[in-house]
Amino acid sequence: MVRSMMRFASIALSLWLAASAPFAAADTPSPIVGGGAHFAWVVFDRLKPDLERVAGRPIELHGRNSTLGMGCNAGIKTALASRPGHETFGFVCCPLDPREVADKGLRVFPIAREPILIVVNRDNPVSGLSAEQVRGIMRGDILNWSEVGGEDEPIVLVTRLHCKKRPGHWKTILPDTGRFRQQRLNVSSAADMEQRVSDFRGAIGHIGSTWDFRPDSKLKVLRIDGIEADADSLRSGRYPFYRELAAVTGRQPSDRVLAVIREVQTGPAFRRIAVRYRLLPLNPAAGGTSP
């Protein structure tokens, strides 16, 4: 079922990329197309007016509802679809293995480190856990909230273990899927993660900090080892769970695409977005300020 859905998503992406080729009149500037993982899409989408100003072109972005791990794969495929008259770039929410970068002919442009939030149902009285307690719950060593200072209630584990062959992201919690508790709810999107943790009072899950929770969300973010998930705790290494957002292109991106990516990496508007979403920028700001 999952394989068939992934094949469908891949076919849909191919059709979209073909349909995105410029059909406009010669005097109408063709858009620069970006696509990929939702959590990186959030950053680009919030900066879209600034990016269009820098590029002198309309920017067309895809990635609002990436699911089933196809987000990063779609980002790579979009990046490699660039050609004269049809400029593209991608964005990913997982670090890429150097071998994958070399084999596919990619360039990677780091943007920010994003905290992975550990979330529970807001009716759960537990407000914090240690990193080792989180890992114990994920492994299945801890099965009841009473073992970590909560009420006598079974723990419902909800996971989204996407991009299994890539380093980083949820692997900062446990390094491979085989280490996670077998009795768990696997979801295919961040929206499903929010819904399932809201559904069960005893649930626990993980989600990127760039996710915009619904107004009626029932999720609560836990402190880990007494630490809030934010840029300062990532910079100091005190917060242990994170992933890296990046832009990707083919080996020879156009100057306009490079300008768009540079604006995201170093522009002042991105600094404001980073504060809003607890991101740690990975590049000096324009003017030389360190991240």
Residues 189-248 pLDDT 10s: 899 999 999 999 999 999 999 999 988 899 999 999 999 999 999 999 999 999 999 999
Higher per-residue pLDDT: 227 or 95? 227
Average pLDDT over residues 81-100: 93
Q: Among 9, 16, 8, which Cα is nearest to 70's?
A: 9
Q: What does each C-alpha distance from 261 to 32, 84, 148, 256 come to in angstroms?
A: 12, 18, 44, 9
In the prediction, which pLDDT does 13 show? 52
Average pLDDT over residues 77-83: 95
Q: Specify the long-range contacts of residues 199-203, CB closer than 8 Å, at least 24 apart.
A: 200/121, 200/156, 200/158, 201/121, 201/123, 201/124, 201/153, 202/121, 202/124, 202/145, 202/153, 202/154, 202/155, 202/156, 203/120, 203/121, 203/155, 203/156, 203/157, 203/158
Which residues are CB-contacts of 253 (< 8 A; sequence separation ≥ 6)?
82, 87, 89, 107, 261
Query: pLDDT, tens digit, for every residue of 32-48?
Result: 999 999 999 999 999 99
Q: Is this prediction's pTM over 0.85?
A: yes
The residue count of the chain comes to: 291
Q: Is the pLDDT of residue 78 over 70?
A: yes
Q: Is the pLDDT of residue 272 over 60?
A: yes
Domain positions in the chain: 2-113+244-281, 114-236
In the prediction, which pLDDT does 70 show? 58
* 3-state class (DSSP) for residue 123: coil
Q: Is the pLDDT of residue 19 over 50?
A: no
Q: What span, in angstroms and rounded, lies between the C-alpha atoms of 79 and 82? A: 6
Q: Among 247, 250, 243, 252, which Cα is nearest to 277's?
A: 243
CATH class of 2-113+244-281: alpha beta
Confidence at 5, pLDDT banded by 50, 70, 90: very low
In the prediction, which pLDDT does 66 show? 58
CATH class of 114-236: alpha beta
**Phi, psi (degrees; rounded to nearest 5) at 7:** -65, -40
* 3-state class (DSSP) for residue 182: coil
Number of neighbouring beta carbons within 10 Å of residue 222: 18
DSSP 287: T
Average pLDDT over residues 39-61: 95
Higher per-residue pLDDT: 75 or 71? 75
Quickly tell me which residue has 């280490």 as its tokens. Answer: 179
In the prediction, which pLDDT does 144 show? 98
Tell me if 210 sits within 8 A of 45, measured CB to CB: no
In the prediction, which pLDDT does 215 show? 87
Q: Is the pLDDT of residue 269 over 50?
A: yes
Higher per-residue pLDDT: 14 or 280? 280
In the prediction, which pLDDT does 290 show? 56
H helix runs in 69-189, sequence order: 70-80, 98-104, 131-139
